Amino acid sequence: MDIEDVTGNLMDYRTSRSELPEDLYQPLYDTVNIVKGDVRVDFFGTPHGHRDSVSGKIKTRVHTNIDNGNVCPTKLYTILDMFLKVKPRNEEVLSWMIQHGVFNLKIIDKNILDIPLIEWRRWCEQYEDRLQYSYKMPAIKIQPYENFFVVVMFDEPWPYENIGVYFSFSTVMRRPT
């Protein structure tokens, strides 16, 4: 047996195969607190391990999976859809948000999506709890280390006391194997 035959067979058992990347489901998610009077909410700006400027609490992996504020982690992510939830469950609060909010997604300096949240109702799936809305969209890719910004602007000041809002992108993460 020749050495090339042996090394050729061993190549099949490599753990690193950049030519065969894996696509894994891995959402990007964040939770923010909105206080009375706010007209703008920025998601993904405070990474885990840092203090939330509104609540004063340290964000953990339960609150966000962002390591650096507004920066895509080290893998390519393809966004498939978006979800928005109010915590604790409150239909009145979510309804107000949907009626008065405008969603904006910017990657680097390019506006990718600018849409009133009321449009999410047209595209949302029906959920039993009716307190989660989603928006199906064409696949959008965020490259590794790209800055992205998710903002919800309100046309009126937020009328409620401190409310937690959860936002997530359903994404497929591409990583080399």
pLDDT at 12: 63
Tell me how far apart the alpha carbons of residues 34 and 39 are, in angstroms, rounded to a whole number. Answer: 9
Which architecture characterizes domain 19-175 according to CATH? Sandwich (2.60)
Query: What ranges do the domains of the chain cover?
Result: 19-175
Whole-structure pTM value:
0.80
Looking at the DSSP assignment, which residues form a beta bridge with residue 15? none
Q: Is 43 exposed, middle or buried (0-12, 13-18, 19+ CB in 10 A)?
A: buried
Q: Is the pLDDT of residue 64 over 80?
A: yes
Average pLDDT of the residues of the chain: 82
pLDDT at 76: 86
Contact indicator for 151, 62 with CB cutoff of 8 Å? no
Q: Is the pLDDT of residue 135 over 60?
A: yes
Q: Among candidates 49, 35, 122, 130, which has minimal Cα distance to 84?
A: 130
**pLDDT average, residue stretch 107-120:** 89
Print burial letters for 138-177: b (CB count within 10 Å at least 16), e (below 16): eebebeeeeebbbbbbbeeebebeebbbbbbbbbbbbeee
pLDDT digits (tens, 9 = 90+) for 143-162: 888 999 999 999 999 999 88
**pLDDT average, residue stretch 8-29:** 71
Q: Quote the DSSP letter at residue 125.
A: P
Q: Is the pLDDT of residue 167 over 60?
A: yes
